[in-house]
A and B are shown apart, each in its own frame.
Chain A
Amino acid sequence: MKHVRKILMFASSTLVALTLTSCGEKPNSDAVKAAIEDSEGLTYSEILEKAKAEIGENQLEVYGNSSNFSLALAKFTEDTGIQVHNNKLGDAAMYEKLTYTIGNGKYVADMTLIQDGNKLQTQMLNPGYLYSYTPKDYKDKLSPEDLNPTGAIYLNKAFMYNNTNFDGTNASSAVKGAVTNQLTNVWQLAGTAEDANHIDGCSFKPGSQENVNLNFLAMLTSPEWCAKLKTAYKDFYGTDYVEEQDFANIGYKWIGEFLTNVKTNNSWHSSDGTAVKDIAAGLSGNMVYANYNKLKDCTETGVGKSDKDNITVADYEGTGVDGFGGFLFKMFTLVPKNAKYPYTACALINYVLSTEGYGAAWGGYVGYYSTNPDNAIAEGDKALSWWKKNCVIEDPKYVSSVYLDVYDYVTSFES
């Protein structure tokens, strides 16, 4: 039976060698780069002409993590005749798949709509798996921070609270709007219960379970946001902040105290959508930090129900929230280095930034903002420029540089 064992060992070694050798299809990254550079000097109609010649009757493969994107793609097909197949995956699965396939030279995608600044920088941009394309028609319209890599859509998370006086017993006699100016300074969420106007237990999704939240916390440690936190600290406590040995900077102090508050009150949640609905239907003053666009899911009416009118965005009131009112992060449009149809991918990126493309998918919904200032915001929402002034903004390069330290620190509160 030694022979049988030898056969088994040979078969397994052969397979291991075959599978672990990555000599996939030869990448055509030079051709893709050249096509992108060429496209950056062309208008949309010029690119579209090249795109149609390039793709013919074939299908453009797109990877996106947003269902809304399908609406833009459908409109793109309707307007241009170019067929598109959307592979909608969650963030984790999408990064996993793109890393393996692009890394092994396997073609799967021509264009991606992707978020999460840390993963994007470390897993896609640093190794050169995804290329950025700056459309000529929008180069002067987009802000410099939204170029290279090109951001297409901003989303935001905000501090929101239940504005009714519902105490859990008599919904019929409770009223909306009874609570105002619940949060006026971010230090209300940190500190201890002895602080004036301290807010206990803002509902928050753990950073280890949602990368966007961890990116938000990481940004608070940057010099810019430490400065703003210091200003807010002085406004709240009436004294200047003095550096402490326990914290590397004031950003870490706020993070530590905020998460201690969340943990002590068992205020973690596992889904932003469910949390927003629960807060809307719940008790007076309860607070949540979640995606602003989740308000659309609060479709019931009445106090004690999941009614979007029971919720107030803290930053909308009075002079807003001292410090910051939320977090802005982007969905980026990028081209894989082994894309088969780079001109068509560039045409699509143009379209996503256009009024037709953006409007078909995200227009009219709160919590979505085009980086193209010509695209209108939803009724009742604030302009992107307003949110940029009041929110922490994701910087992929900074986030990836401090991610390890912040992750280790944040997870010390998740135990």
Chain B
Amino acid sequence: MEETLALPGEKKPKSFWNHLKSYFSNPSNIILVIAAVLLTLTVIVPLIFLVLNTFQVHIGEAHLGVYGSYTLQHWVNILTKTSNRYAINNFWMPLLNSTLMALVACVFAVVVGGANAWFVTRSDIPCKKLISAVFVFPYMMPSWAIAMFWENLFRNTNVGTHAVGILQSMSGFCMPEWFVYGFFPCAICLGIHYAPFAYILIGGILRNMDANLEEAATILKASRFKILRRVTLPIVMPALLSTILLVFASSVSSYTVPMFLGIKGNFWTLSLKMKSLLNISQKVGEGYVIAVVLLLFSVAILLLNQYMTGKRKSYTTITGKSSQVSFVQLGWKKWIFTPLLLLYVAFFAIVPLLSFALESVTTTSGDLSTFTLYYWITSEQTNVYIPNSYGILHNAEIWKAFGNSLLLSVVVALFAGTIGLLIGYAVSKKRGSKLANFVSNVSFFPYLIPAMSFSAVYLAISCTPAFSWLFESIFLLMIVGSVKFMPFATRSDTSAMMQVSGEIEEAAITMGVPWWKRMTKIMFPIQKSSFLSGYLLPFISCMRELTLFVLISSSGLIVTAVLQNYETYDATQISNGINLIIIVTVLLINFLVNKITGASIDKGVGGN
């Protein structure tokens, strides 16, 4: 064969193109390169913007210099200013508070969600279908709904504004202040809200785990606790770490729960301080510093996640060999655990939902004797301050906004879910490579950027001539929503892909099955429930999201904006009715997906 000789330093052109061809013949590499470019454009740019804002002088900060110039003063003030204990009150103490709150929320979510997942997938408790279906309700409700429910239940004449709550009115019993407002209720409400994450992610793995592994350990006389510690836990580690990451990042930056339950108990979090500073003309830069710190915090956990999952070579639980699932026989103990689980789901899932429903059909809050369908069926204006505030079923504004939200959520779910699936596949195939690590990490960043800041970046982008066609368009909302909620899909799908052994796909490759067929006929069906979570979680999040879209959409475009308007004017019945519609819609979609595909968020975990 003739050899092409090259002078020193000169590359051989044929070799480069061959290398490129070979590289891009692997679908994983194609996916990773495209994802890397897209993520750089849609995520890195907002990140750069966010970081730049911590050094720039903003329009109301004339005391720091010329508008648009650069300064370190934001960082210096928020981290070190001692007058009036400024840095301690506005940064260090809230940082400690937020961290502790998020840690407790994490522990609660993982313990409760993980335990529920184990009971439903690995034990013989009864009522699995009900527990499985209802356990995910708290995530479908906004986090403030759970906080509001907690306050309405436990507040009493000894605390806060001294209003009588449900527990006091029914029993005369008054819970102490630390239980009603402050650190404890904030952490618990967040834990309740995010426990479904843990349930979905961990349960999806446990469902497919081969029982032979645990049975082998039992034969070798390992105790139940040892089996849990040395067999079960290591296998679910990727899902566990993904859960901790998602729950911690969400909890540490939660705003509405501390706003409802924290302020009244003198409990101040970083998110409260950040929102406050971003809203003060003279302190916007300091608000951005807090946003970056929150982000850095979560990046640290992300790197820890990577380190811990990178240590092991494999998390495979699904192989080419047949596997079986067998249930642990709990015996009499199931009659203790089952009522406890039912009580939990009834109390924190069903009762809040019922309270929304009741609030929308009673004139006086909590008083069933004032039952009325007026706020649903009337053609009259129900609130003097809101034009066209007709009954819900006759209210064109509500239904138009609802249609927009539904369309937006479906598109966001499809986009985010599909990209997440592809990224999950490619990252699991190329685990350990620099490009895979880059894509995996960057795909998670949107989750860590505060929603208001994230949308502010895109507002600024849509103001430029090159992208002015995006300004206030539904396409902008679709892009922003897809990027922001993609982390749900990438995390869930990466964990799921890592469980699947390479030999399954290799067998198909050997048979000459094309890539798209391998994905649709083999990979997707195996981990259907986990992949569907990757579609349903962005859908749920988008349906009830407001902060992310409020800056970049015209008012009244989406149903959560309409809901907020009614809430502002204390139109309690209609705002609760809209809340109910959002939650019922999500449940219906979950049900429809179940009927069409045979899988759902909860059914795939253990409801079959």
In the bound complex, do residue A24 and residue B463 qualify as a contact, i.e. CB atoms below 8 Å apart? yes
Q: Which of A283-333 contact B (CB under 8 A)?
A: 283, 286, 288, 297, 300, 304-305
Instruction: Establish whether residues B467 and A270, one from each chain, have CB atoms under 8 Å apart when the complex forms.
Output: no
* A407 close to chain B: CB less than 8 A: yes
Contact of A407 with B280 in the complex, beta carbons under 8 Å: yes
List of A residues within 8 angstroms of B177 by Cβ: 266
Contact assessment for B84 and A300 in the assembled complex, using a CB-CB cutoff below 8 Å: no
Given A87-B554, A269-B264, A118 contacting B281 (CB threshold 8 A): yes
Chain B 383-405 interface mask (CB, 8 Å, partner A; 1/0): 00111000000000000000000
Which residues of chain A come closer than 8 Å to B89, judged between CB atoms? 411-412, 414-415
Interface residue range, chain B: 35 or more
> Smallest CB–CB gap between A34 and chain B, Å?
25
Q: Which positions 227-250 of chain A face chain B at CB distance < 8 Å?
A: none
* Also in contact, A408 and B468, with CB within 8 A (given A87-B554, A206-B263): no
Q: How far is the CA of A408 from the CA of B100 in the complex (A)?
A: 25
Q: Hey, which chain A residues are within 8 Å of B264, CB to CB? A: 266, 268-270
Chain A residues whose C-beta falls within 8 Å of the C-beta of B159 in the assembled complex: 266
In the assembled complex, which residues on chain B have CB atoms less than 8 Å from the CB atom of A400?
A: 281
Query: Smallest distance from the beta carbon of A402 to chain B beta carbons, Å?
Result: 11
Report whether B268 and A122 are in contact in the complex, using a CB–CB cutoff of 8 Å.
no
Do A408 and B41 form a contact, CB below 8 Å, given A4-B33, A19-B464, A99-B59? no
Q: Is A404 an interface residue (CB 8 A)?
A: yes
Bound CA–CA A23/B467 (angstroms): 12
Q: Which of B36, B37, B162 touches A282 (beta carbons < 8 Å)?
A: B162
Determine, out of B207-215, B498-506, B524-532, B564-572, the stretch whose residues face the partner at the interface: B564-572
Using known A-B contacts A15-B41, A92-B279, A268-B263, determine if residue A282 contacts B161 with beta carbons closer than 8 Å. yes
Closest to A126 in B: B62
* Contact call A286/B161, Cβ cutoff below 8 A: yes
B74 at the A interface (CB under 8 A): no
Chain B hits for A74, CB < 8 A: 387
Known: A88-B555, A412-B85, A412-B86. A119 touches B260 (CB 8 A): no
- CB neighbors of B among A54-101 (8 A): 67-68, 70-71, 74, 85-93, 95-97, 99-101
Of B465, B550, B568, which is within 8 A of A67 by CB?
B568
* Alpha-carbon gap, A405 to B381, bound state (A): 46
Contact (A127, B268) CB under 8 Å given A96-B456, A270-B260: no
On whether the beta carbons of A97 and B569 are closer than 8 Å, the reply is no
Interface pair A122/B62, CB less than 8 Å apart: yes
Residue A373 at the chain B interface, CB threshold 8 Å: no
State which of B244-252, B270-278, B289-297, B535-543 sits at the interface with chain A: B270-278
The reply to whether A403 and B280 form a contact with Cβ atoms under 8 Å apart is: yes
Contact yes or no, B33 A408, CB < 8 A: no
Q: Are A269 and B161 in contact (CB under 8 A)?
A: yes
Pair A92/B278 contact, Cβ less than 8 Å: yes
Check if B63 is an interface residue, CB within 8 A of chain A. yes
Complex CA gap A205/B417 in Å reads 41
Number of A-B contacts (CB under 8 A): 200
Pair B281/A15 contact, Cβ less than 8 Å: no
Q: Is B266 in contact with chain A by the CB < 8 A criterion?
A: yes
Residues of the B chain whose Cβ atoms lie less than 8 Å from the Cβ of A269:
160-161, 263-264
Chain B residues whose CB sits within 8 angstroms of the CB of A4 once the complex forms? 33, 36
Q: Is B171 an interface residue (CB 8 A)?
A: no
Which one, A86, A91, A279, A414, contacts B161 given CB within 8 A? A279
Q: What's the minimum C-beta distance from A214 to chain B, rounded to whole angstroms? A: 8
Asked if B59 and A209 make an inter-chain contact with CB atoms under 8 angstroms apart, the answer reads no
Determine the chain A residues whose CB is within 8 A of the CB of B415 once the complex forms.
none
- Evaluate contact between A23 and B465: CB separation under 8 angstroms: yes
From 223 to 265 in chain B, residues with beta carbon under 8 angstroms from any chain A beta carbon are: 259-260, 263-265
A28 at the interface (CB under 8 A from B): no
* Contact call A282/B570, Cβ cutoff below 8 A: no
Q: Is the CB of A15 within 8 A of B45?
A: yes
CB B550 to nearest CB in A, in angstroms, measures 5
Q: Does A148 contact B (CB under 8 A)?
A: no
Interface size class of A (residues with CB under 8 A): 35 or more
Contact of B281 among A88, A122, A411 (CB under 8 A): A122
Interface: A31 (CB within 8 A): no
C-alpha spacing A103/B467, complex, angstroms = 16
Say whether A123 faces chain B, with CB atoms less than 8 Å apart: yes
B119 at interface, CB cutoff 8 A: no
Residue of A nearest to B265 (CB): A266
Interface set, chain B 19-43, CB cutoff 8 A to A: 23, 33, 36-37, 40-41
Contact A19 B36 (CB under 8 A): no
8 Å CB interface, B194-222 against A: none
- The answer on a CB contact under 8 Å between A24 and B164 is no
Tell me the minimal C-beta distance from B319 to chain A in angstroms.
32
- The docked-state distance in angstroms from the alpha carbon of A251 to that of B279 is 24
Q: How many Å from the CB of B420 to the closest CB on chain A?
A: 20
Is B163 an interface residue when CB atoms closer than 8 A count as contact?
Answer: yes
Q: Kindly list chain A residues whose C-beta atoms are within 8 Å of the C-beta of B268.
A: 414-415
Asked if B259 and A71 make an inter-chain contact with CB atoms under 8 angstroms apart, the answer reads: no
A176 adjacent to chain B (CB < 8 Å)? no
The residues in A between 393 and 415 inclusive whose CB is less than 8 angstroms from any CB of B are 400, 403-404, 407-409, 411-412, 414-415
Q: Which residue on A lies nearest to B564, using beta carbons?
A: A90
- Residues of B within 8 Å of A70, CB to CB, are 386-387
Q: Are the C-beta atoms of A286 and B162 separated by less than 8 Å?
A: yes
For A122, give its contact among B59, B275, B468 (CB under 8 Å).
Answer: B59
Cβ-based interface call for B461 (8 A)? yes
Is B556 on the interface with A (CB-CB < 8 A)?
yes
Residue among B41, B456, B471 making CB contact with A11, cutoff 8 Å: B41
Given A70-B386, A208-B276, A275-B161, residue A408 in contact with residue B83 (CB < 8 A): yes
A263 within 8 A of B: yes
Among A7, A86, A263, A407, residue most surrounded by chain B Cβ atoms (within 10 Å):
A407
Per a CB cutoff under 8 Å, which of A16, A127, A283, A412 touches B67?
A127
Q: Is the CB of B276 within 8 A of A209?
A: yes
Closest chain-B Cβ to A398's Cβ sits at a distance in Å of 14
A202: min CB distance to chain B, Å: 11
Collect the chain A residues with CB atoms within 8 Å of residue B161's CB: 203, 267, 269, 274-275, 278-279, 282, 286, 288
**Which single member of B84, B460, B463, B551 contacts A411 (CB below 8 Å)?**
B84
Measured between beta carbons, the chain B residues less than 8 angstroms from A183 are none
CA–CA, A404 and B63, complex, Å: 10
Within 8 A of A (CB), among B534-585: 550-551, 554-556, 564-565, 568-570
- Across the interface, do B36 and A8 meet the contact criterion of CB distance under 8 Å? yes
Task: Decide if A21 is an interface residue (CB 8 Å cutoff).
Answer: yes
Q: Is the CB of B162 within 8 A of A283?
A: yes
Whether a CB of chain B sits under 8 angstroms from the CB of A352 is: no
Is the C-beta of A43 less than 8 angstroms from some C-beta in chain B?
A: no
B181 within 8 A of A: yes
Interface residues of B (CB under 8 A from A): 23, 33, 36-37, 40-41, 44-45, 48-49, 59-60, 62-63, 67, 81, 83-86, 88-90, 93-94, 157, 159-164, 177, 181, 259-260, 263-266, 268, 272-273, 275-276, 278-283, 364, 385-387, 435, 452, 456, 459-461, 463-468, 471, 550-551, 554-556, 564-565, 568-570
A-B contact pairs, 25 of them (CB 8 A): A8-B40, A12-B44, A18-B464, A19-B45, A19-B461, A23-B465, A67-B568, A71-B387, A92-B278, A96-B452, A99-B59, A100-B456, A101-B459, A101-B463, A118-B282, A211-B279, A211-B280, A263-B266, A266-B177, A269-B161, A286-B162, A407-B283, A411-B90, A415-B93, A415-B266
Binding site for B on A (CB under 8 A): 1, 4, 7-8, 11-12, 15-16, 18-24, 67-68, 70-71, 74, 85-93, 95-97, 99-101, 103-104, 106, 118-119, 122-123, 126-127, 168, 203, 206, 208-209, 211, 263, 266-270, 273-275, 278-279, 281-283, 286, 288, 297, 300, 304-305, 400, 403-404, 407-409, 411-412, 414-415
Q: A19-B49, A19-B464 are in contact. List 18 more A-B contacts (CB 8 A).
A: A19-B467, A96-B452, A100-B456, A103-B59, A104-B464, A118-B281, A266-B177, A278-B161, A278-B163, A286-B162, A288-B161, A403-B282, A404-B283, A408-B84, A411-B276, A415-B89, A415-B94, A415-B268
